[in-house]
Structure 1
Amino acid sequence: MAFQPLGRTKNIARRSKKYLEEALFHRLFKEGTSEVSVRQNLNQFLKSSKRVYKWEVGDTLRKLRERGLYYPALKLSQAMTERGMNKTVSDQAIHLDLLAKARGIAAAESYFVNLPETSKNHLTYGALLNCYCKELMTEEAEDLLEKMKELNLELTSMPYNSLMTLYTKMGQPENVPTLIQEMKSAQISPDSYTYNVWIRALAAMNDISGVERVVEEMKKFGRVTADWTTYSNLASIYADAGMPEKVEQALKELEKINACKDLSAYHFLITLYGRTGNLLEVYRVWRSLRLAFPKTGNISYLNMIQTLVKLKDLPGAEKCFREWESGNPNYDIRIANALIGAYTKEGKLEKAEDLKEQARRRGAKPNAKTWEIFSEYYMQNGQIKSAVECIANAVSIGRGDGKKWVPPPETVRTLMGHFEREKDVDGAEEFVEILKKAVDEVGAEVFESLIRTYAAAGRTSPVMRRRLKMENVEITEATKKLLDVICVE
């Protein structure tokens, strides 16, 4: 495989036979967008002798990043260098971001340090700062921004946006207005993202009047036009504040702005009208979405069914599900899960089981979420053995992104509490073994409950001290006294 750095034509049909006959991203996604299939197709492409233009690589990297496929994106980015394609500083900034996502922040830092000085500008500094913010590394992000100021680098709203987002995530929204004032003093114009994170920060401080002043500022100065994201944020803020009339006003503004028929805007409208309990508006927007997007995708059906379920319109959710099922060959377990969850909450276990099996027959195997839904039902109905079996299935399958699925802490506490009350040592030990497959450290809380279960049952465990040492678990003084009782030879 070779890259072609020159030539600007984007007419794939007219290119020479030495180039790919189809767009690179089509080649990578021809068997779906799962990471396994994309990696396999990328490996085949890299082994081939086909060439590809740089603009095409950049377009493919963008699509891979949008889908969260960071490992294949990083490999493709590395191949750009290995095959002699000249990287711009923008390309290097993207590579740095991919390293952080695929290999961790230390790899990104090492790459940045080894960049030539000519490449250390606002783009690469900004990329590293954004990585720090994603990893919630406040001190490092703040220090790097100060360094950028000292170097008199060209500053835009982007590094400030990253830092403001970090403060919001860290529960420090009061720091956001200070950054806004700093931007204005430095004559750095806020962009749409800046205004949106600003109003979210003010909302987090319960300053609704401040939120409205910011929106008025946007309208007054006109440098940045309030977009549909602004009004979806505003509607969500009003919903959280219990102001349904203002929610609907913001949603009407959102609909006016959504002239370009953005799919995400429709999703927000459906969700937010759902939050106000306005079922008629939910159905009206759904009809508008179907007209704008006749080939309605799975994500739209999922959003609609979840909203109807929350509004307790189960017949409507079932009708929407049947419509999706009859017209979509790609069975999506997430959509089935939305209805399965509704059935279990209504106590309709048989319907939930039937739908799970129906999905399986259509090629959509139960995922971790499916088993989590059933485990919650069984726990609520005191069927602990069945709940544990479901949790074991969820742990075995793992999450869709390849990471481990971990049962919620409250679920763990509830089950361990049950075993403790029932003096069920064997059940507790079985559950601990399941947990060990999901987490690196089971933790002191679980082991302390296990020790109390042994003591309550009058059972002994000569190896318990050794287990605690191997797990590096520190227990309370009260539990140590119980340990003396159960750890007898």
Structure 2
Amino acid sequence: MWAIRRASARIKSQPLSSRTFRPCNAKFGTTSSSYIGNIGFGGPSPPISDGSLLLRRFSSHSRGPQSSSIGNHRFSSQAGSESKKEPIKEADTSGSESESESENELDLLDTEEETAGKTDGERRGSSGLFKVVADSSSVLSAKNALDKWVKEGHDLSRPEISHAIFELRRRKMYGKALQLSEWLESQKNIELSERDYSSRIDLIAKVSGTQKAEAYIQKIPESFKGEIVYRTLLANCVLNNDTKKAERVFNKMKDLKLPVTSFACNQLLLLYKRTDKKKIADVLLLMEKEDVKPSLFTYRLLIETKGMSNDIIGMEQVLETMKAEGLEPDLRLQAVLARQYVYAGMKEKAKEVLKEMEGSNLNENRGAFSSLLQIYALLGSVDDVKRVWGACENSPRLEECMNAIEAFGKLKKVEEAEAVFDQMSKKWKKLSGKYYTSMLKVYANNKMLLKGKEIVKQMSENGCRLGPLTWDALVKLYIEAGEIEKADSVLNKASQQLNMKPLFATYMLILDHYAKKGDVHNAEKIFHKMRQDGYVSRYRQYDSLLQAYINAKAPLYGFRERLKADNVFPSKTLADRLAQVDAFKKTAVSDLLD
């Protein structure tokens, strides 16, 4: 079963590629994770059984001994060591998330499982409870409306509740979903399950942060404090790239003797894929010792990690191992492979995978359409994008329309994108904000300010909620048009109006622009706002802020202390830039000469 180990050291020895497309750039002061047990930190590599092919493949060609120690299988971040990791540079972000990470949002919960078998049309038309909550203007009005709803004798069954929360989540109306969850808990005649409490924890974490979510766990009856509750908290720590808290929660789960599941291990893999790839082998070793079988999601993470590190041979070895274990690539995994081949410049291999995704008859493989549209656009193949869109044009699904719009936009085919949007608008009279945002992104990327403003106006007239992705596209629209002050103003409004904070990438768009101009004052202002919204301990924002001082040729005092306070340890690149800023500092002699 365990075939990944040999390939891992190649990841350890390679900096992240400049084509890496994830915008998550947290920098933690760690060199490797160790299990705190009988051996301690930095011990020799533990023996690996002959069956550990997966682990060996992922860990091969190591530059030195493994840092893993087998004991109580605890994880910890070791501060005080300089990380060798180079900054992650943002490249293509179409689709907003990598295929392997996009599942993380609700895979852990599924409190809305009763609605899973229904079509979008059936779900949208069935929940009056959803409408009651969605239409409320405040917490008090929501409570009053819900009380009235019950008194009028309306349906408050488990399927109705599950569906309402499902719809609120699907629209990312987490604040409203939390209001409903709080009201449900206050109703003595409704029996809550562990999944209900898990859903509540997830919503609290998204609206108020993981600290408040963790505090809420203390209020849950002991009988419901199970693996689902803690893995929900763990997943939200991972979502925030909070390494220390994620490791602490995982260790807590071990202390409570909760089962070690593939989901929990996958969360750590997802975290370390973003923040410290050297720790991935540690997680794989733990999985082996606990006899936790890797899932398809595990393999997708590992394959994508290999690809992001330019280790295509290692990526293919992990794929071979997966097949040897009797698992076949699904469409998502194939999409990961194809993307990584594209980013590696191996277009022919990417096309081979895409042909496999299409199958013998494209029209019979509808599930692949969205990914095909995205990846053919990455390849720059207009004809293939048109061919795939032609296969679904007569009866398109919403997601296919959105991906076709973004694909044509990437290919600079704005008129084709507009035609798809027009068709979508006529077929579905009431579109949510994310579908308008797909067209807004096209206009932003093509510097079409007036048309972008018109789309935003349409959204407002149709009562669409402007979410984080819409604000992100709007900020980019103004930046591309050269209106940085307007972009800054838009970001400020977003931070005030959103129930959730603006995206990290949105802040970075403006911070990078100020850095490029050498505008230290405004760069520091954005940096401070990011900290207020919880974006701390990120290498990427410090790197951009430092660049502002360099471009301004301004001295910077106390920067190393700021880094240390946030447990951010400079790489060689950042240290070299710090030296540049030091050169701007005036000495007593230079003051006299001036």
TM-score, normalization by structure 1: 0.69
- Report if the CA contact (8 A) 2:516-2:547 is conserved: no
- Residue 217, structure 1, aligned to residue 321, structure 2: yes
Give the aligned partner of residue 134 of structure 1: 239
Distance in structure 1 (CA, Å) of the matches to 2:529 and 2:182: 33
1:181-200 correspondence to structure 2 within 5 Å: 181-200=285-304
Amino acid at match of 1:316: E
Q: Is the 8 A contact 1:196 1:230 kept in 2?
A: yes
What corresponds to 1:89 in structure 2?
194
Cα deviation for residue 95 of structure 1 reads 1.8
SS of equivalent residue, structure 1 residue 190: coil
* Per-residue deviation, 1:185: 3.1
Decide whether the 8 Å contact of 1:35 with 1:69 is kept in 2. Answer: no
C-alpha distance in 1, partners of 2:259/2:300? Answer: 23
Residue 267 of structure 1 is matched in structure 2 by 370
* Contact 2:516/2:551 (8 A) holds in 1: no
Mapped to 2, the partners of 1:150 and 1:433 lie a distance apart of 42
Q: CA deviation at 1:116?
A: 3.3
Q: CA deviation at 1:127?
A: 2.2
Alpha-carbon displacement from aligned partner over 1:217-245 (angstroms, at most 9, x marks no partner): 332332x4421111111111111111111
**C-alpha distance 360-37 of structure 1, shift in aligned 2 (>3 A):** farther
Change (3 A) 1:193 1:167: same
Deviation at 1:369, TM superposition (A): 5.5
1:45 aligns with 2:146: yes
Structure 1 residues 209 and 134, CA, compared in 2 at 3 Å: closer, same or farther? same
How far apart are residue 336 of structure 1 and its match? 4.2
Q: Is the 8 A contact 2:374 2:403 kept in 1?
A: yes
Cα-to-partner distance string for 1:49-95 (whole Å, 9 max, x where unaligned): 13411232123323323332222222222222211212122222222
The alpha carbon displacement at 1:113 in A equals 2.6
Distance 1:243 1:360, change over 3 A: same
Deviation at 1:416, TM superposition (A): 5.5
Greater shift, 439-448 or 129-138, is seen at 439-448
Shift of 1:309: 2.8
Aligned positions of 1:378-389 closer than 5 A: 378-379=481-482, 387-388=483-484
In the TM superposition, residue 202 of structure 1 has moved relative to its aligned partner by 2.2
Secondary structure of the 2:393 match is: helix
Instruction: Quickly say closer, same or farther: Cα 1:23–1:86, change in 2 above 3 A.
Output: farther
CA distance in 2, matches of 1:167, 1:446: 26
C-alpha deviation, 1:210, in angstroms = 2.4
Choose the corresponding residue for 1:300, options 389, 393, 400. 400
Q: Where does residue 111 of structure 2 map in the other structure?
A: none
- Counterpart position of 1:394: 490
Q: 2:348 maps to which residue?
A: 245
Q: Which residue of 1 aligns with 2:47?
A: none
Aligned counterpart, 2:221: 116
Separation in 2, partners of 1:78, 1:192 = 35
* Residue 353, structure 1, aligned to residue 467, structure 2: no
1:323 and 1:91 map into 2 onto residues whose CA distance is 39
Using the TM superposition, name which of 128-137 and 100-109 deviates more: 128-137
From 245, 253, 264, the counterpart of 1:148: 253
Describe the shift of the 1:150–1:388 C-alpha distance in structure 2 as closer, same or farther (beyond 3 A): closer
Match in the other structure for 1:412 = 514
Q: Residue 458 of structure 1 aligns with which residue?
A: none
CA contact (8 A) 2:133 2:176 kept: no
2:127 is matched with 26
In terms of fraction of residues, the more helix-rich structure is: 1
| Equivalent pair of 1:174/1:205 in contact (CA under 8 Å) | no
217 and 259 in structure 1: CA distance in 2 versus 1, 3 angstrom threshold: farther
Q: Tell me the distance in 2 between the aligned counterparts of 1:218 and 1:204.
A: 19
SS of corresponding position for 1:127:
helix
- Equivalent position of 2:336 in the other structure: 233
User: TM-score, normalised to structure 2's length?
Assistant: 0.58
Q: 1:174 to 1:54 in 2, by over 3 A?
A: same
Larger Rg: 1
One-letter identity of the residue aligned with 1:390: K
1:248 match: secondary structure: helix
- Partners of 2:290 and 2:343 in 1: how far apart? 34
Task: Give, as a single letter, the amino acid of the residue that structure 1 aligns with 2:261.
Answer: T
Shift of the alpha carbon at 1:215?
2.1
Identity rate of aligned residues, in percent? 23
- How many angstroms apart in 1 are the aligned matches of 2:245 and 2:476? 40
User: Greater shift after overlay, 65-74 or 335-344?
Assistant: 335-344
Decide whether the 8 Å contact of 2:235 with 2:267 is kept in 1. yes
Q: Distance in 1 between matches of 2:250 and 2:162?
A: 28
SS at match of 2:220: coil
Alignment partner of 1:56 is 2:157: no
Q: Hey, what does 1:71 align to over in structure 2? A: 175
Q: Is the 8 A contact 1:70 1:102 kept in 2?
A: yes
What one-letter code is carried by the residue in structure 2 that aligns with 1:177?
A
Shift of 1:31: 9.4
- 1:173 paired with 2:277, answer yes
Instruction: String of CA shifts for 1:228-285, please: whole Å, max 9, x gaps.
Output: 111111111111111111111222222349998666x422111101111222211121
Q: Size of the alignment, in residue pairs?
A: 413
Compute the RMSD of aligned alpha carbons.
4.5
Q: Secondary structure at the match of 2:128?
A: helix
Structure 1 residues 70 and 260: CA distance shift in structure 2, 3 A: farther
Question: Structure 1 pair 40/307, CA: closer, same or farther in 2 (3 Å)?
Answer: farther
Distance in 1 (alpha carbons) for counterparts of 2:274 and 2:524: 34
Q: 1:130 to 1:392 in 2, by over 3 A?
A: closer
Please state whether the residue corresponding to 1:398 is helix, strand or coil.
Answer: helix
CA offset digits 1:89-131 (Å, max 9, x no partner): 2222222222212222122222223333322322223223223
Q: Deviations over 1:20-49 (max 9, x none)?
A: xx9996325559979969996775234321
